[in-house]
Amino acid sequence: MAVDDLSFTIEAGTITGFLGPNGAGKTTTLRMLLGLANPTSGHATIFGVPYTDLPTPAMRVGAVLEATDFHPGRSGRDHLRTLSRAAGLPDSRVDEVLGLVELTSAAKRRVKGYSLGMRQRLGLAAALLGNPDLLVLDEPANGLDPEGVRWLRDFLRDFASGGRTVLVSSHVLAEVAQTVDQVLIINHGRLVTESSLDALTMKATVAVRVRSPKIAELADALTREGLVSMTTNDHALLVHNATSERVGDIAFAAGLAIHELMSETSSLEEVFLDLTSGESS
């Protein structure tokens, strides 16, 4: 089963990161949301109705599920003109969205000569044709160089600042951590976490890293005080649920020299891996 009893709501004016490992069910969920696949039970709605019931879907929802749905012999501009005319939009909108995604200089080139990053931008341009209220993007940073990723982040923040909404999927939390407001994490088709990014950040654990020439004696002293420590690959100790001040005081009381003492916070990527590891299918 690709998706199992998955339920969530996205608030207007936010950027929501839809996260999970490869194969977690993200793309299947987005396909059901956009009416491209039918759930065996339950329903998916956009603005309160199924996508297929929206009277002018191109003007409400823009979506990019893959960056390969192009005729290789057409130019970028011709590809967008075909879509805009099918949606009843003026050709002038094509040049507007080409400018928005910074593809104006490549508009006359055939798509088969586009890089993957350029195809990602062209897909985004197609999604923007109807000036939608909601953007649904599946792995939009795939193929983008660091400058392109920064451009995408700034673009999405600007898009949402006007009260519009973004749902962006990724299998890399670090990729969207500087962009999103809300986080949905799924694994094996089931919801693991639904929270704000700030709340997820608070789940990052804090540990104390300490190094001593008498590491075994220090570990024993910490154990006597009820603290759990583990030896790292570089022969330091990592002490959980303690402050650096307490670890330093214990070492001082035991007469042990300290060569390094610092607090460490796990990264968001480590939080993500913790949440998505060990889940049964």
pLDDT band at 280 (very low <50, low <70, confident <90, very high): very low
The dihedrals phi and psi of 182, each to the nearest 5 degrees, come to -115, 155
Q: Please tell me the predicted confidence (pLDDT) of residue 145.
A: 87
Q: Which has more pLDDT, 197 or 218?
A: 218
The mean of the pLDDT values for the chain is 89
pLDDT band at 96 (very low <50, low <70, confident <90, very high): very high
Q: Of the given ranges (23-27, 56-60, 129-133, 276-280), which has the lowest mean pLDDT?
A: 276-280
What pLDDT, in 10s, does the model give residues 1-26?
A: 578 888 898 988 999 999 988 888 99
Q: How far apart are CA 136 and CA 164, in angstroms?
A: 12
Question: How far apart, in Å, are the Cα atoms of 275 and each of 117, 205, 238, 270, 281?
Answer: 30, 13, 21, 9, 14
Mean pLDDT (whole number) for 17-46: 90
What pLDDT, in 10s, does the model give residues 135-177?
A: 999 989 888 888 888 999 999 999 999 899 999 998 877 778 8
Residue 279 has pLDDT above 60, yes or no: no
pLDDT band at 278 (very low <50, low <70, confident <90, very high): low
Closest alpha carbon to 156 in 117, 101, 205, 105 = 101
Provide the residue ranges of all domains of the chain, joining segments of one domain with +.
15-202, 206-265
Mean pLDDT (whole number) for 247-257: 96
Q: Please tell me the predicted confidence (pLDDT) of residue 234.
A: 86
Q: Any residues with CB less than 8 A from the CB of 96 and at least 6 apart, and which?
A: none
SS3 readout for the chain: CCCCCCCCCCCCCCEEEEECCCCCCHHHHHHHHCCCCCCCCCCCCECCECHHHCCCHHHHEEEECCCCCCCCCCEHHHHHHHHHHHCCCCCHHHHHHHHHCCCHHHCCCEHHHCCHHHHHHHHHHHHHCCCCCEEEEECCCCCCCHHHHHHHHHHHHHHHHCCCEEEEEECCHHHHCCCCCEEEEEECCEEEEEEEHHHHHHCCCEEEEEECCCHHHHHHHHHHCCCCEEECCCCCEEEECCCHHHHHHHHHHCCCCCCEEEEEECCHHHHHHHHHCCCCC
List, in sequence order, every residue forming a beta bridge with 141; answer none if it has no partner: none
Q: Please tell me the predicted confidence (pLDDT) of residue 68.
A: 67
Mean pLDDT (whole number) for 207-225: 94
Q: Any residues with CB less than 8 A from the CB of 64 and at least 6 apart, and which?
A: 120, 123, 124, 126, 127, 136, 137, 138, 140
Mean pLDDT (whole number) for 82-109: 95
Q: Of the given ranges (17-31, 43-57, 65-79, 124-138), which has the lowest mean pLDDT?
A: 65-79
Q: How far apart are CA 227 and CA 184, in angstroms?
A: 34
The dihedrals phi and psi of 48, each to the nearest 5 degrees, come to 90, -5
| Domain covering 15-202 in this structure, CATH number | 3.40.50.300
Which residue matches tokens 């154990």? Answer: 223
Q: How many CB atoms lie within 10 A of CB 84?
A: 20
Q: Please tell me the predicted confidence (pLDDT) of residue 281.
A: 37
Fold assignment, 206-265? Alpha-Beta Plaits (3.30.70)
